[in-house]
Amino acid sequence: MSLIDMVRAEARLAPVSGIEAVANYGRDRAGLIPLWSGEGDMPTPDFISSAAARGLANGETFYTWQAGIPELRQALARYHKRHFGMDFSEDEFIVTIGGMQAITMALQVAVGAGDEALYLAPAWPNFAGAAGVAGVKPVPVLLDMTDNGWSCDVEKVAAAITPRTKAIFVNTPSNPTGWTADRETLQAILELARKNNLWIIADEIYALFHFGGHRAASFMDIMDPEDKILFVNTFSKNWAMTGWRVGWLRSHPSLTRTFENLVQYSTSGVAQFMQRGAIAALDEGDDFIVSQVERAQQARDIVCKVLGDTGKVRFCVPPGAFYLFFSVDGMKDAEAAAFDIVDMAAVGVAPGTAFCAGGEGFLRLCFHRRLDQVEEASHRLAKWINAQ
């Protein structure tokens, strides 16, 4: 028996990212426009980086609060009050290593080995991956692609619930489809969760990346304080901070002590000087977000127009997030297509197969980029599509 055979199966068999496979293949191609990963092209704005640099220069290099420094938790409460229109207490927030640690801790609180957790698919793969590593069975419920956009049939969610189901992960606006739940759908999911005593893990990280002129609907708009909802969030997308690995989790304050312990026994906290940058992002970054969302909307419109004009592409115009999830007439194998697009069009897209059930036959591109590059990439893709 070799060493790898002795690794716990849940860890050994964790799926390899289907995005990385294409990115590794095309990463160094000269002139390639990379639209495969879920991030924009801008570095973190200076007002954020310099706040972190000041913290570092001031010697903030020691162990710090497990839950996050009080000033950052207070800034989170202010930010939520501004955007969600109600009062929040700093005790509701825990600072994490990116959205990903928030998801891992939410899973640790809500589900255990042998349990099932539902999620809406196609989906960003990391929730299902993290659930699997924890011995939890991730169960996809397929969204429907309709003439009015992607849609969630709550009857289908109800049908997927078994006695082992303990949680449902709801990502709205969604990566990769852009599906954005309306208030009624959120209400129906909440009722279902209440009835079946499920936790909701709410991933609303793209709530402000919504193109209707206002943020997307949130469970915060409709919930009672005692509802079993855990909100996972991140600094990554709103403030161009993907590489910082800073996020947060919001829950009822009675859970804070538990989450602090989970931080203690995993990462033992987030670097204090980086938390200074996060405070600047929250307190001074609203205009930056508005400019990013405006640019993303223009980019979305360019890519939808150019690809739509080929007459050979099917997609729903995404009302939120910054991805286009599309299929191409005649395309048989999304993975092979993504590799071919690297070679023939010098554009990096991710195969839909990287996004769980229901992703077969689709490609995903991230349009959160300089508009001239989005335009150029769209025309290159259109040429590739027309040649199929």
Ligand X SMILES: Cc1ncc(COP(=O)(O)O)c(C=O)c1O
Binding interface with ligand X (CB under 6 A): 38, 98-100, 124, 171, 175, 203, 205, 234, 236, 242, 247
Distance, in Å, from the CA atom of 72 to the CA atom of 315, rounded to the nearest integer, reads: 40
Burial status of residue 194 (CB atoms within 10 A of its CB: 0-12, 13-18, 19 or more): middle
Question: Nearer to ligand X by C-beta: 145 or 170?
Answer: 170
Q: How far is the CB of 245 from ligand X (least distance, A)?
A: 7
Q: How far is the CB of 149 from ligand X (least distance, A)?
A: 18
Question: Nearer to ligand X by C-beta: 320 or 328?
Answer: 320
List strands edge to edge, sheet with 116-121.
93-96, 247-250, 229-234, 199-203, 165-171, 116-121, 137-142
Tell whether the torsion through CA atoms of 228, 234, 235 and 239 is positive or negative.
negative
Distance, in Å, from the CA atom of 114 to the CA atom of 96, rounded to the nearest integer, reads: 26
Q: How far is the CB of 205 from ligand X (least distance, A)?
A: 5
Question: Nearer to ligand X by C-beta: 241 or 307?
Answer: 241
Question: Nearer to ligand X by C-beta: 66 or 238?
Answer: 238
Amino acid at 360: E
Q: C-alpha 338: how far from its chain's center?
A: 21
Question: Nearer to ligand X by C-beta: 40 or 98?
Answer: 98
Q: How far is the CB of 357 from ligand X (least distance, A)?
A: 16
Distance, in Å, from the CA atom of 143 to the CA atom of 365, rounded to the nearest integer, reads: 19
At 285, give phi and psi (nearest 5°).
Answer: -100, 5
Question: Nearer to ligand X by C-beta: 67 or 201?
Answer: 201
Q: How far is the CB of 46 from ligand X (least distance, A)?
A: 21
Burial 310-335 (b: 16+ CB within 10 A, else e): bebbebbebbbbbbbbbbbeebeebb
Q: How far is the CB of 99 from ligand X (least distance, A)?
A: 3
